[in-house]
Structure 1
């Protein structure tokens, strides 16, 4: 890991400051923290999104039954304890008392059942989260403070999944009264901050929830501004217009600019976010596995990490970082070998001057620079690459899911559970939103088999096998795992960087 000279020490003990506790003493909330976020997710409903930028805001609005903070430890959230029964096919949760939603509605077992009936029903089917929770067959209310989750098969990652995204507990009465569309833009949860206002493409404002069940908040207001242009976000940080810039905004090239300002600091931590250029396996020259391997071998990824990313990343052999469960430390990336790449292209019948289109997110300046380097390397083996920037929401919600990309397209994935299943199932299983081109019965079987295993060692072996199989088929060009890079004003105190950008800011304060 590479640190700024003024990088603040981050310890596991500091991370514990973010764990909420019902036994905490109340603190007078004061001060406003303004955060620059690179993307407006478009909906604040937990079932509607997979975006990290949703979680960086909504982790302060909502709670799950469990909670996982920057220290990576899973602890109680809205459930105070749980027990696994019936050979792993039933989990009983005991719920926290005295918790209310921001509209005054009580949190109870009915709210939990409503949340998961909704997630697993028609409303959830319209969003991307449902597939992460399909091991849940039903939720049974035992009494007002107890629920049983009946599973159709054991799910070794479920407790972690309950700490984020689609599993955030929502208010049944509020949603029934106001409707789904209203809830999309007027979120209500049980978290430390409650909704004030939202202006699409501009920002969202929150304020301290006085009746929050846990620790803090110490801030009176939390404002997010959606600033997609990195140079603008950094300029706002320098001028004091924002206090915190969250990943993946800050380009590596702008880190020295922030480090040179005595009022600012760079804070980094190893993150789960991995970057790849995935292949269209249905059309174009990338239909050929041999061509895909050639394109991978044509690119010197270590030089990209060293020269463009300033050492703030690690080259990856599969679509996961080293902290991911399922990571195989013995798996080697395909080597940089332009001569072998030319030979493979010739064997595949690809003539010099063949073209590929690479679709990338339009607001990701760092990746744009990386892609330019990739295109230059491909040019050296006779493949002409055209880079096509696409507005991020359009790329993610229309172009990729509808299979309208060129031969290669950017895929950045947080894998926030730090479990390869979260990535691999979404990327490789037939019919998934992020897998518009490929269908492989063998891969489907491997993915489904590991999901029901409680044997940790056997499951890890299968996940490693999936990683090797995807690499053998050259389904993507794995590039790198990037550190989470934050820019912060030194007036901010108590900030602990989250590896997955899911920031719980209830214990942060400003001078």
Structure 2
């Protein structure tokens, strides 16, 4: 067996152990959405990760600096040409219920994720490269892969790969775990009121050292103006992205007790198309709709420059980004020609579905509608409660001709976006089926040569652009509203903020 990779750093443990063991108060954080379940395999939502990154640990960890370091695994080796990974696990770790963490915990977590329970959630498709997990001893496990997955180690740092306690779940059941989660993270959940708030307390026995804060309360505030008012009044210490509208940046920065902290983000926005029925089943119509909209003007005017126009559904930080790929030009005359060629009559109706609580994107949608009306389309905007749009309308294929898709791209690898958006049968691809695209998406997952894989991902981006599967709009900076009493806060590009070292000044 050839040893291809070995990590034996303890960066995360050292950093967390440096945190003071003395508690220093509490903070309140405004989050725009209640995920509805705290089980790692039930969710894809960034707002889940903003909270649960503090409740759970993965085998690996990636912080705001985007460097991958050990988490619950202290080291790992890639063996058998990447088709087997051996993890050495951290000893002396306990879950919040005092259950010990060991190899059985890891095997249980992935058996569950890849089994019947995981099949009902959105996370399993991220980990289908894993065949099974075998226990070597109490603190060593082998992951056997169907094919090498060049993004797997990053995936193990978040979402569905968070390690869960076997005994607790077997005793209490999955439904109980949804609302009473237990992990090994630096904070433990002590109270959850759906659609209202969730309260965390410091876990003094965390393997990396106790947090500086003694408690954190997340309030679910969907209305941006309310969240900003609470920040300025001091009743909220931190407002998470994507809550803050661009139009409120100046008023926050001019307030004596708050400021905006902006960081480049992998989050991208697009309006995706129903490619199966209606006028947008015609590729010419989709291209026309894209060319009818001046996306740079939207970034400049609506986002106040806090973003960049994109040519494919990824930002510049994504592996697979092609800087030579130009967006469709703003060309309303050509758009009208294409619509005429496709036989679209002036006044034809078109519906855009959006998240109702996203005030910035609601403004963007209004501008898009205005541009499309300029080429003869009669556009209506249909707002939905976010969970309804994401859990019901889109996966069931019940959208209008266009629908909002915001994607976090948290792996900073186009695979995590492209596979879930374009592969036949995936949750976020209710309409399209393209055998050539499926083959390319499957092939790139098995390529271990970094340059070859990047080239194929760039080709996939170009292919999807030519097919006009969505109107790529922009990558947007993550905007955090930070109260003056918060110290040691480091903004995370992917919104997955770890609060271990955050402090408050009274």
The alignment's TM-score, normalised by the length of structure 1, stands at 0.96
Partner of 2:364: 370
Q: Secondary structure at the match of 1:88?
A: coil
Distance across 2 between alignment mates of 1:18 and 1:340: 54
Give the TM-score, by structure 2 length. 0.97
CA contact (8 A) 1:18 1:504 kept: no
Q: Deviations over 1:205-240 (max 9, x none)?
A: 000001011043000001100000000000110111
Residues 19 and 211 in structure 2, CA contact (< 8 A), matched pair in contact too: no
* 1:482 match: 476
Q: Which residue of 1 aligns with 2:133?
A: 139
User: Matched residues in 2 for 1:25 and 1:350: separation?
Assistant: 63
Distance, in Å, in 2 between the alignment partners of 1:65 and 1:495 is 24
Distance verdict in 2 for CA 1:20–1:352, change over 3 Å? farther
Equivalent residue, structure 2, for 1:320: 314
* Cα displacement (A) at 1:23: 4.9
Which position in structure 2 is the counterpart of 1:12?
none
**Alignment match of 2:413 (pick from 415, 419, 425):** 419
3-state SS of paired residue (2:199): strand
Contact between 1:358 and 1:387, CA under 8 Å: does it hold in 2?
yes
- Find 1:435's aligned residue among 429, 433, 457: 429
8 Å CA contact 2:16–2:500 kept in 1: the answer is no
Given the alignment of the two structures, is residue 173 of structure 1 paired with residue 167 of structure 2, yes or no?
yes
Alpha-carbon shift at residue 283 of structure 1 (Å): 1.4
Question: 1:384: how far off?
Answer: 1.2
1:255 to 207, 224, 249: 249
Q: Structure 2: how far apart are the matches of 1:50 and 1:246?
A: 17
Secondary structure of the structure 2 residue equivalent to 1:99: coil
Contact 2:272 2:469 survives alignment (8 Å): yes
Instruction: Give runs of ≥4 in structure 1 deviating > 4 Å.
Output: 16-23
In structure 1, C-alpha distance between the alignment counterparts of 2:266 and 2:184, rounded to whole Å: 27
CA contact (8 A) 1:362 1:391 kept: yes
Residues 398-413 of structure 1: matches in 2 within 5 Å?
398-413=392-407
Q: Are 1:234 and 2:228 counterparts? A: yes
One of 180, 189, 195 as aligned partner of 1:195: 189
> Whole-Å Cα distance in 1 between the matches of residues 105 and 16 of structure 2?
20
Asked if the contact 2:203/2:210 (under 8 Å) is kept, the reply is no
Give the alignment of 1:1-150 within 5 angstroms: 21=15, 23-24=17-18, 26-150=20-144
Provide the C-alpha distance between the structure 1 equivalents of 2:277 and 2:13, rounded to a whole number of angstroms.
Answer: 49
Q: Deviations over 1:253-297 (max 9, x none)?
A: 010110110111100100010000000011111010000000000
**What's 1:7 paired with?**
none
Corresponding residue number in structure 1 for 2:3 = none
Q: Give ranges in structure 2 of 5+ residues lacking alignment.
A: 1-9
Q: Which residue of 1 aligns with 2:5?
A: none
| Residues 19 and 212 in structure 2, CA contact (< 8 A), matched pair in contact too | no
Which blocks of at least 5 consecutive residues in structure 1 are unaligned?
1-15
Find the aligned partners of 2:371 and 2:14 in 1 and give their Cα distance: 49
Q: Match of 2:503?
A: 509
Length, aligned pairs only: 496
SS of the aligned residue for 2:134 comes to strand
Offset from partner CA, 1:369-419 (integer Å, 9 cap, x none): 000000000010001110000010000000000000000000000010000
Cα-to-partner distance string for 1:150-208 (whole Å, 9 max, x where unaligned) = 11110100000000000000000000000000000001000000011000000100000
Shift of 1:24: 3.7
2:271–2:471 CA contact under 8 A, matched in 1: yes
On the 8 A contact 2:11/2:70 being kept in 1, the answer is: no
**CA–CA distance in structure 2, aligned partners of residues 220 and 350 of structure 1:** 61
